[in-house]
Each structure stands twice: as C-alpha cells, then as structure tokens.
Chain A
Amino acid sequence: MSTTNLYFDEGLASETHHRTLRDIYWGQFRKHHLAVASAIVVLLMVLLAIAAPVATKYTPDKVDFGSRYLAPSLSHIMGTDSLGRDEFTRVLYGGRISIAVGLIATALGLIFGIIVGAIGGFYGGWVDNLAMRLTDLMLALPRLFVLILMTMLLRNANVPWLQSSGGIAAIILVIATLSWMTVARLVRGSFLSLKEKEFIEAARALGAGNSRIIWKHLLPNAMSPIIVAGTLRVASSIITEAGLSFLGFGVQPPTPSWGNMLENAQDEMLKGHLWLAFFPGLVIFIIVISVNYVGDGLRDALDPRKIQ
C-alpha cells in the first residue's frame, strides 16, 4: 500500500517510474479481498470446466438406466438425472458451454460496441447521429421478448453452423446483438471528451492518422469503464443464456448447459428430485456473484479518484 503512495510523491517519482500502471491497478485491486477471492473462485470454476474429462470419471451423456434418479451421494456428489447421467459431470460439461457462451457473446458485444461508440464519438456529425439512433433503437427493444424471437429465427434458419452443438452459435449471436449498447455509449462519451485533449493534438501534429489516433491514443485511455462494464456483462450474459435455455429457447439438449439442465427441473423437483433443480442454479449463482464482485473490485481499482 505504501509503495503505491510513493508513485505520487514527487520527490520519489523518478525512482519509482518503472512501476507501471498495471502494478498500481493490481495494488488497488488486491485491497478488495472479496474481489480477489471471487476471482479465484471464477478461475477455479473455469479450470474445472476445462479439465472436465479429468475431474470426473463419468461422461456427460452416458445413459445408465440402472442408476436413474440417485440422490447425491459419495459416488454421485450431485446425484443423477432421469437418464441416470451423473449430474456433477453434466454441471462440469454444461459449464464449458455456459461460460463459453458468456465470454464469447460478451467479447463480440464489446467489439461491436467499441466500434460503434468509437466511430460515433470520433467523427461526430451525422455519423454520430446515425450510431446513436441505432443505439437508441436497440435500447427501445423489449430485451427478453426480442431475444426469444431472434433465437427462434436463427435456430430454425437453414444454416448448419448455427445449429451445431445445440445451437450455441445462434445463442451467442443473439446475446451479442442485444448487449453492445451500454459499451457504445460509454466509448462515445469518453471519446467526445478525450478527443479535445492536448495529447491528441500532439499526436496529430506528429502526423498520426485518424485510425492511429482512435486505436492507439483514444481507446487505451477509454479502457477503464469498458473493462468494468465488460466484466459485469459476462455475468449477465451467463444469466441470459441460462434464462433462455430454461425457457427452452436456448442451448438445445443433449448439449448440456446450466440453463437447459434446469429446463425440466420444475417437474423433477415436484416429483421429489430436488437436487436436479438445485445444483445447476447454484453454480450459475456462484459464478455470477463472483464475476460481479470481480467487476466491483475492478471498478474501485480502476477509479483514478480512489488511487492514493
């Protein structure tokens, strides 16, 4: 903590100039213990999902009618489902799908949002007007209803790559299409104020072209809010995928996802198989709250007013 203070002490600044911004941010982030613990939880969950074949001795779609509806026990820690498949194994493999959908959809949304916001904020005028009308339009759409209509359209489209692996490509596209607007507004706002600054004038005087100014000078300075919004967006994308799949419009069985594992959970739990309704939701909850805490920690760490 004291080392971060040194950086801003004029007398010592020259000695500590090798401390990069990243060191400072990390120092700030580390203070938020809950955020650090949450980051570890998220990392563990991702690693477990990646290492699924090693982490479990069962396979996700091995049907075993001899062991249907087994309650959680030592050999099946999350029990088994209606086809005798190990629930823990399906949670692990479902995690691969759910986490991947959350990450890729967010990444696509961020890229598109950054492009729209950057172009609008930088060029201004009618380009900006067009970009912002498009943003307004997307924000005026009833989100969940349009998500459902779009997945129905893409899921039934005659395009093979949209349909493979339970239609995850379609879900990713749909979620990304409806989640770039916040970022576009953030980037545009930052660009509008940053482009008037002296360092941009300096860059231009040195002969930098528009695209160099946008990508090398403006964007890096506008990154903090994007990183925070992006992190929180991963959590909401995971919830969105789970919600769509829960309603039967998302990832299609037999490909497991945390959401579609809950699809028939209501019938199952009323028949007494409570664990089938419990565990998939629990893992969604744990990853979402952890990602939210990481986002919260990043918000504090990247906030220039909070760096002392």
Chain B
Amino acid sequence: MTQYIIRRLLGAIPLLLVISVIVFIMIQLTPGGPMAAFEENPNMTPEDMARLEEQLGLNRPIHVKYYHWLMKMLQGNWGYSMTTKRPVLQEIGDRLPNTLQLMIAAYIVALSVAIPIGIISAIKQYTLFDHIMTTLAFIGQAIPIFWFGLILIIVFNVWLKNPTTGKPLFPGGGMQTYGLTGFHLMDRLYHLILPVTMLSMFLMGSYTRYTRSSMLDVIRLDYIRTARSKGLKERSVILHHALKNAAIPIVTIVALDLPGLFGGALFTETIFSWPGIGRLFFRAAQRVDYPLLMAIVLINATLIILFNLLADVLYAYLDPRIKYS
C-alpha cells in the first residue's frame, strides 16, 4: 500500500507540471492583465509603459516567464498579486478560512440531512416517504444553485422580517453585522445560514440518492439476513451491520467532491458577498492577475489529485476485498 501511495504521488508531479504549463499559457494569451490599467492613464508615455513592462518582466517571451515563475514557485515564492502587490499566499491565506467555514458547514448540514433520509428511504422503499424524499433529492440536484441563492434572499431577506425588530429575518450578505469587531460565534452562524443552505442544497440531493441506492444494494445481501435471523434488533442490523458497508461508497464520493466545492463556493460567495477564495478568483480573473490565478488553480488541482488518491486509499482501507498493487 505504501508503495502504491508513493507511486501515485510521484505520478502526480508530472501531471501538475503539465497543468501548470497549460494554465500558464492560457492566462498569458488572455489580453488585459496588469498593463491594461495603465493604458488609459494620460501621464504614462509609451517609454514609461515600456520601462514598467521591463520592470515587471512582462515583455519576456512566454517560456522564459514560465521558467521564472516555476523556479520561484519551487522555492516557495508564489509571487505577488499584480493588483494589490501583496504576496499571493497571503491573499489566499486571508480568505481560505472563510471558504473553509462555508464548505465545512455545508458538508455537516448536507450529510446530517442526507444520510438519515437516504437510510429511511431505502428501508421504506416505494413508500410515500421514499417518493417524497426522492423527488426532493431530484429537485435539489436540478435547481440551479445561483438561482436558489437568489430565491433564498427574496424569501428570507426581502419578504420575511423579524417580527420584533422589523429587520430582514436573515442577512442577505456579508460575514458579520456591520460595526461589529472581532469574531462572534452566534453572529457568524446567523450570517452562515443562508449561504450554507444554498451551498448544501446540491450536496443534499446527491448524497441522499447515493445513500439510498448504496443502502438498497447492501440490505439485500445474505449477511444482513443472517444478522436478522440471529434475532438482532432491526435498528442494530441497519445501523451497525448495513450502514458500515453502505457508507464505503459515500465516504469515497465525499472525498472526491470536496475539492470541487471551491468552484461551487464561487457562486455562493458572489451572491452573499462572502470574502472567500471563489470571490478572490473572480476578481483576479477579471483583472488577469496571473500570479494569483496560477496559485488558486494549481492549489485546487493539487487538492483534487490528493483527494482522488485519498478516496482510493480509503476505499481499500474500508473494503478489504480491494487490493492495489
């Protein structure tokens, strides 16, 4: 197993290099970029522009630029944002906790709703409960997440008001109440409710369906019948015997989905003005801020590859029948 993991990790290196080349070329070929901001400035003469380009290293050929970027990156220097002049890692570090709060909260909500519903749906297959929940799961998967966010704002911010204060029931954006300083748990949770509902909607739908079908596969198996005929309580059969095996594919799917949620968070962060990685990327993309874009895409690609490996390893660990060589 250790050998397998090492081989996969070594294989990830050329993959990441190729990704970095592709993304680098893509961004470099996009017009705009840092010089666009100066083109409108009447005080900038063409000579000034040329000097600035020279200083920023923008007029070098693309492979030279890539080489410089790569060498610095390998030494841990991801460069500076072209718009804020701050180190890229610092920009990302500032926002990462905010995105992680959203993602972790969304996962907790989605899984704690989806798994019990999926289990009950499977046990009571084709009952009214199952039909309603399966339909809701389909709706959750089909609803455009950004539209759902807008609907949440209409209902819980525009329409519904707090009866005592007359203010909107839930905030329509931001991470904390205006004027508040420092971290206040209750205030943060209050601001998390709508964005987390939005972000967890899709996950809830797909995890409910996964849990249901995974449970259905398991409860037909012989060992479950054995457990029942031993006289075990149904509750114990489902929770201790069936769920353990049914959870294996769910764990894998969750591990595979996690890094992709940075993208999903982009919509949530845009709609709810949540200062996270997604919004940072959005702004950087509009200004073709390439050091920042490179860092966000590559870190995310690394996470995708690592979580893929993690999913495979977890799968083998949880299911002893699976062997990698």
Contacts and interface: CB of A to CB of B under 8 A. Distances in A.
A156 B31 contact: yes
A281 B301 contact: no
Contacts of B138: 289, 292-293
B50 interface: no
Interface in A134-153: 136-137, 139-146, 148-150, 152-153
Nearest to A145: B297
Interface string A230-269: 0000010001001100110100000000000010011001
Nearest to A150: B26
Contact of A262 (B150, B266, B305): B150
B27 to A, nearest CB: 6
B154 interface: yes
Contact of B297 (A139, A149, A281, A293): A149
Contacts of B293: 149
A292 B209 CA distance: 13
Interface in B18-32: 18-19, 23, 26-27, 29-32
Contacts of A199: none
Nearest to B139: A289
A140 B15 contact: yes
Contact of B285 (A149, A277, A289): A149
Interface string A142-170: 11111011101100110000000000000
Given A262-B150, A277-B150, A140 B30 contact: no
B252 interface: no
B154 A277 contact: yes
A177 to B, nearest CB: 11
Interface in A273-292: 274, 277-278, 280-282, 284-285, 288-289, 292
A163 to B, nearest CB: 13
Contact of B147 (A142, A274, A284): A284
B207 interface: no
Interface string A95-138: 00000000000000000000000000000000000000100110
A265 B158 CA distance: 14
A143 B293 CA distance: 14
A23 B235 CA distance: 45
Interface stretch (B64-72, B104-112, B180-188, B255-263): B255-263
A24 B236 CA distance: 43
B282 interface: yes
Contact of A148 (B144, B285, B305): B285
Contacts of B143: 285, 288-289
Given A140-B305, A262-B146, A269-B150, A145 B263 contact: yes
B300 interface: yes
How would you classify the secondary structure of chain B's contact residues: helix, strand, loop or mixed?
Answer: helix
Nearest to A239: B144
Given A140-B305, A146-B297, A281-B147, A269 B153 contact: yes
A243 B267 contact: yes
B245 to A, nearest CB: 21
A140 B263 contact: no
Contact of A288 (B142, B154, B297, B300): B142
A293 B300 CA distance: 32
A153 B153 contact: no
Nearest to B299: A142
A293 B150 CA distance: 25
Contacts of A205: none
B66 to A, nearest CB: 16
Contacts of A289: 138-139, 142-143
Contacts of A143: 260, 263
B144 A242 contact: yes
B141 interface: yes
A270 interface: yes
A140 B142 contact: no
Contact of B144 (A146, A153, A243): A243
A244 B111 CA distance: 28
B151 A281 contact: yes
A140 B30 CA distance: 22
A271 to B, nearest CB: 10
Interface string B227-271: 000000000000000000000000000000001101110110011
B284 to A, nearest CB: 10
A189 B270 CA distance: 39
A133 to B, nearest CB: 8
A269 B267 contact: no
Interface of A: 133, 136-137, 139-146, 148-150, 152-153, 156-157, 235, 239, 242-243, 246-247, 249, 262, 265-266, 269-270, 274, 277-278, 280-282, 284-285, 288-289, 292-293
Given A141-B19, A266-B271, A288-B144, 8 more contacts: A137-B15, A140-B301, A142-B300, A145-B263, A146-B23, A265-B150, A281-B144, A284-B147
Interface of B: 15-16, 18-19, 23, 26-27, 29-32, 138-139, 141-147, 150-151, 153-154, 158, 172, 259-260, 262-264, 266-267, 270-271, 281-282, 285, 288, 293, 296-297, 300-301, 304-305, 308
8 contacts: A142-B304, A153-B29, A242-B146, A270-B153, A277-B151, A280-B147, A281-B144, A293-B138
